Amino acid sequence: MADVALLGFKPQLVVPGMKAEAAVQFYKAAFGAEEIGRVTHPKRKAEQECPLILSAELKIGSSLILVSDCFDAAGEENAAAAGGGGIAFRLEAEDVDAAVKKAVAAGAEVMSEVLEEEGSLLGKVKDPFGVVWAIAAVGKKSPEPEA
């Protein structure tokens, strides 16, 4: 199969029980983490006191980790929809479809088809060792036409 350009990955900790904020505070206290970015759910941000964290990016030493609340597509807390929480890897690819196809050809299982999510293409696969890879486009806002 042709080479697929992958840029790298970041571990993503999906925290059940609306505790992503608590996790961020813990990593600051425990490991001196520096918060370098945060995206909250836009609906929850406007209406709720405690916004859902789509993704808080923390730097620990020279390494990056993403911390997220568990939620479903409607922005409601939903651990089941988010796979029950835990650690996944967010892998950045130039061509998400090709990256997913190559992973599946090697033995990974599709968890969610490639769709536009949070303004970027995203597909999820689970590998034969139980690890979830969220394969996301970098700097692409919409799908390219099939060749």
Strand partners, 13: 67, 87
Of residues 29 and 46, the one with the C-beta less far from a copy of itself:
29
Of residues 130 and 145, the one with the C-beta less far from a copy of itself:
130
Query: Using CA atoms, how far apart are residues 28 and 69, in angstroms rounded to an integer?
Result: 17
Strand order across the 109-117 sheet = 34-40, 53-60, 63-69, 6-15, 86-93, 132-137, 120-126, 109-117
Q: Does 139 bind a copy of itself (CB under 8 A)?
A: no
Q: Does 63 bind a copy of itself (CB under 8 A)?
A: yes
Q: Does 11 bind a copy of itself (CB under 8 A)?
A: yes
Q: Does 35 bind a copy of itself (CB under 8 A)?
A: no
Interacting residues with a copy of itself between 73 and 132 (CB under 8 A):
86-87, 89, 91-92, 99, 102-103, 105-108, 127-131
Query: Using CA atoms, how far apart are residues 56 and 36, in angstroms rounded to an integer?
Result: 8
- For residues 99 and 93, the answer to whether their CB atoms sit within 8 Å is yes
Chain residues that interact with a copy of itself, rule: CB under 8 A: 3-11, 13, 15, 19, 22-23, 26-27, 29-32, 60-63, 65, 86-87, 89, 91-92, 99, 102-103, 105-108, 127-131, 133
